[in-house]
Structure 1
């Protein structure tokens, strides 16, 4: 939604804004449901996820599958018809990378976090494409879209590293592969997080230096963070 309001060339179109919000909500719900369908057995072994609808028996796999299919189809149609085809394409890419790439990778490689960070950042572009469609690629808003995407991607790394370290015993029970799981003290996790935190600090200064934002951005960014 911030990208849509930022890049909108004219007045807000309520129908487009509503389609963007509803379509994003539905496609996100579908992707999250598919994730939990794939991980139901692992979720059941973890204290923090054992009470989710599937491992706790509140929903059956068939019910979840019907919901995921319906929400995904309706969400993509809402975005495609109510906003732009580009927005629906970004949403579809998010769903595929999240459920078909990131989720299976969580038990195969500790680099799953990097893939998940990209998948989690793609929706930041949907507002820009809803306002500008493919014109975003040649618009003056492209640096802003890239900045928002980059900020979200970088932020997710220390966020998930810290969560994995705090819940490392649970993650081990679930059979996940994460870098922080072998870190007994948290020192290694902190060291892995620092480059991303430094990059996050540099981003607002780089944006201002490029002329894409005023110098109030780096002044206000630490307070907002």
Structure 2
């Protein structure tokens, strides 16, 4: 019997941990040859290498654990229609679909290279590997102009996506679009760097904020992730 493949969600912005790790190793190596700056270089190198390790842990494990907790606490009934903004290779989309046996999980993305191997075929293959292909669909769409009618989803999620929109105006449009497609009484769950999430809450004028802990740090506490639950 052939082995069943497990979903593979890739690495977020893979050049970043590569650069952190390489710079850290270079600093540690350089400290051997520069006695006058040995300790500062060695310490800086250790911090950079540790940051690369923390980053990889977050992208490969930490964010998955965080979102399992977020979705469990959301109290889904199992028949909701859920939209995931910037779904990438489907980590949140598929975790949601596993909790929607009678529902539908819809993902949208522009499939840019901010995540390794980011393309719709990969997301659908991951859904099949997780056994939820029958309740998952993906679309190519701009988060600032969603191709869905008003009030068409019970839940909207987003993980580390909206902050990638380059302008504050664009990020606000994406938030407004997320609210537009939510049904009355719907749930908005957005995880992004903490400094951005505070601005999202100010723009919407609603919702609670919660830090997601060290398991969702991108290299260290200076890039922590918070959740907006509105």
Query: TM above 0.5, one fold?
Result: no
TM-score bucket of the superposed structures, by smaller chain:
under 0.3
Q: Which has the higher strand share?
A: 2
Higher relative contact order at CA 8 Å, sep ≥6: structure 1 or structure 2? 1
Q: Normalising by structure 1, what TM-score?
A: 0.25
TM-score (norm 2): 0.24
> Greater helix percent: which structure?
1
